[in-house]
């Protein structure tokens, strides 16, 4: 099988252990380090560098890169490749992500592991192609039709672009679910130092493949090798399990059961709860100056950088300011937000939009904690002094 990437060869292709590179390239590095065997993509600003990096490096590592005809096809191709047994990835931005919604839903329904790096910009429509923003925070969760859960991570640094891409692959393989790396144009085009982890400095979760007798295999139910797991074992195409994969509502055997209410209910509940059962285990936050904080930012991605500066400036002025940074935004860290809201007077959510994550934050915050958005639109980042004003008003 060609898709087994040799980690030694990959590191030789990547070069020096310490490098000064842009976030998009760090995403490509992360994919290679995670062992991506297939990348299908379509050019779009500000994500194109991910595909360009993959086009240069992936074939040298033994994997396959194809520039597909559009983002619909990119998403389709990575799902198909995943079923042939490899780790797969695409990269895009707002308008492309909108096109991917169709097959994003298909990946969720068919429990296909794959990674989508979304270097966000904004809209509606074509919007501001060359300006970064955070326009797809909620589309990731609610953009495709029907009931579903999402898994998404938000890097704030170039190093996190690399590390979180690897983590995206691990979560994707573990939960058999498409994982979205929600970077933004700022972090994607930012250049910073990255350190490439050695083989023994990183952990990889490898897909649990079906091993039970072929006549006893149940493709769409709890795992048969990992008791208690709601994630079924993966019957790779060509391995003889002769599995049927469909986006239609299906029963445990994978056969269409489109008019069977109990089958649909059981399927959908398993697809969602296989992730939400682990909500607290998955929660990944960074706490800054929270011990005695009264007014705090809840933030993510590039916005966390000026927000952290503003917290330091506020502290220098004696304001009890703090910050909670969400490294994983979906499944939503409900308890972390509720616990925070019980301790502080006010939560301010800096976002490069008119406000997206402020909505789930408000939904899960205690009722007596005020939650407001600090919006910044137009493709520029918040200035620390602008955010400082919010803290001063809230103090």
Residue 130 to residues 6, 44, 70, 148, 301, Cα–Cα distance (Å):
35, 10, 19, 31, 17
Residue of the chain from 21, 28, 33, 73 that contacts another protein (CB under 8 A):
73
Residue of the chain from 48, 93, 243, 299 that contacts another protein (CB under 8 A):
243
Rounded distance between C-alpha atoms, residue 83 and residue 361, angstroms: 36
Rounded distance between C-alpha atoms, residue 274 and residue 231, angstroms: 7
Q: How far is the CB of 257 from another protein (least distance, A)?
A: 11
Residue 300 to residues 7, 93, 155, 358, 386, Cα–Cα distance (Å):
31, 17, 8, 11, 17
CA-nearest of 174, 175, 146, 150 to 249 is 146
The yes or no reply on residue 339 touching another protein (CB under 8 A) is: no
Neighbouring residues of 75: CB distance < 8 A, sequence distance ≥ 6: 40, 90, 99, 100, 102, 103, 104, 107, 116
Total residues interacting with another protein, rule: CB under 8 A? 52
The yes or no reply on residue 350 touching another protein (CB under 8 A) is: no
The yes or no reply on residue 143 touching another protein (CB under 8 A) is: no
The yes or no reply on residue 55 touching another protein (CB under 8 A) is: no
Q: For residues 104 and 297, which CB has a smaller minimum distance to another protein in the complex?
A: 104
Using the contact rule CB under 8 A, the part of the chain among 83-91, 127-135, 153-161, 348-356 near another protein is 83-91
CB 27 within 8 A of CB 91: yes
The yes or no reply on residue 37 touching another protein (CB under 8 A) is: yes
Residue of the chain from 70, 198, 206, 265 that contacts another protein (CB under 8 A):
70
CB 299 within 8 A of CB 350: yes
The yes or no reply on residue 256 touching another protein (CB under 8 A) is: yes
- Distance in angstroms between the alpha carbons of the first and the last residue of the chain: 60
Neighbouring residues of 126: CB distance < 8 A, sequence distance ≥ 6: 95
CA-nearest of 129, 195, 204 to 158 is 195
Using the contact rule CB under 8 A, the part of the chain among 115-123, 188-196, 203-211, 237-245 near another protein is 237-245
CA-nearest of 66, 307, 328, 52 to 186 is 307
* DSSP helix/strand/coil, 77: helix
Using the contact rule CB under 8 A, the part of the chain among 92-100, 188-196, 236-244, 318-326 near another protein is 236-244
The yes or no reply on residue 98 touching another protein (CB under 8 A) is: no
Q: How far is the CB of 253 from another protein (least distance, A)?
A: 6
Greatest pairwise CA separation for the chain in angstroms: 70
The yes or no reply on residue 12 touching another protein (CB under 8 A) is: yes
| Tokens encoding 356 | 């997206």
Residues 105-134 that bind another protein (CB under 8 A): 106
Rounded distance between C-alpha atoms, residue 123 and residue 133, angstroms: 9
Using the contact rule CB under 8 A, the part of the chain among 239-247, 297-305, 322-330, 350-358 near another protein is 239-247
Q: How far is the CB of 38 from another protein (least distance, A)?
A: 5
Residues 295-334 that bind another protein (CB under 8 A): none
The yes or no reply on residue 280 touching another protein (CB under 8 A) is: no
Question: How far from the centroid of its chain's Cα atoms is residue 8's Cα?
Answer: 27
The yes or no reply on residue 64 touching another protein (CB under 8 A) is: yes
Using the contact rule CB under 8 A, the part of the chain among 26-34, 231-239, 289-297, 377-385 near another protein is 231-239
Enumerate binding residues for another protein (CB under 8 A).
Answer: 1-3, 6, 8-9, 12-13, 37-38, 40, 59-60, 62, 64, 66, 68-70, 72-74, 76-86, 88, 102-103, 106, 237-248, 253, 255-256
């Amino acid at each position: 099988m060609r898709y087994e990437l040799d980690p030694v060869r990959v590191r030789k292709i990547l070069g020096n252990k310490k490098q000064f590179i842009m976030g998009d390239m760090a995403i490509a590095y992360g994919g290679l380090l995670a062992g991506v065997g297939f990348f299908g993509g379509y050019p779009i600003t500000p994500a194109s560098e991910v595909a360009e990096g993959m086009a240069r490096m992936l074939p040298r590592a033994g994997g396959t890169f194809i520039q597909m005809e559009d983002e619909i096809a990119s998403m389709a191709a990575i799902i198909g490749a995943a079923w042939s047994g490899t780790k797969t990835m695409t990269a895009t931005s707002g308008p492309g992500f909108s096109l991917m919604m169709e097959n994003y839903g298909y990946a969720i329904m068919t429990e296909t592991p794959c990674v989508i790096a979304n270097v966000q910009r904004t809209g509606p429509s074509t919007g501001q192609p060359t300006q970064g923003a955070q326009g797809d925070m909620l589309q990731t969760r609610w953009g495709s039709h029907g009931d579903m859960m999402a898994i998404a991570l938000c890097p704030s640094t170039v190093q996190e672009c690399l590390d979180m891409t690897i983590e995206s692959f691990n979560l994707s393989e573990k939960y058999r679910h498409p994982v979205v790396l929600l970077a933004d144009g700022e972090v994607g085009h930012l250049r910073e130092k990255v350190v490439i982890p050695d083989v023994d400095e990183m952990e990889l979760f490898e897909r649990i493949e079906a091993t039970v007798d072929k006549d006893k295999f149940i493709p769409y139910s709890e795992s048969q090798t990992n008791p208690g797991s709601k994630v079924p074992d993966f019957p790779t195409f060509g391995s003889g399990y002769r599995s049927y994969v469909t986006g239609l509502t299906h029963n445990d055997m994978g056969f269409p059961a489109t008019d069977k209410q109990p089958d649909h209910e059981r399927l959908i509940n398993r697809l969602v709860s296989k992730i939400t059962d682990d909500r607290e285990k998955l929660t990944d936050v960074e706490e800054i100056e929270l011990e005695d904080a009264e007014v705090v930012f809840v933030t993510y991605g590039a916005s966390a950088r000026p927000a952290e500066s503003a917290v330091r400036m506020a502290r220098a002025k004696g304001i009890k300011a703090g910050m909670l940074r969400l490294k994983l935004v979906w499944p939503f860290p409900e308890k972390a937000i509720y616990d925070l809201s019980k301790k502080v007077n006010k939560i301010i959510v800096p976002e490069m939009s008119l406000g997206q994550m402020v909505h789930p934050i408000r939904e899960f915050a205690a009722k007596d904690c005020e939650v407001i958005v600090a919006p910044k639109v137009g493709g520029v980042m918040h200035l620390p002094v602008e955010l400082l004003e919010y803290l001063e008003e809230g103090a």
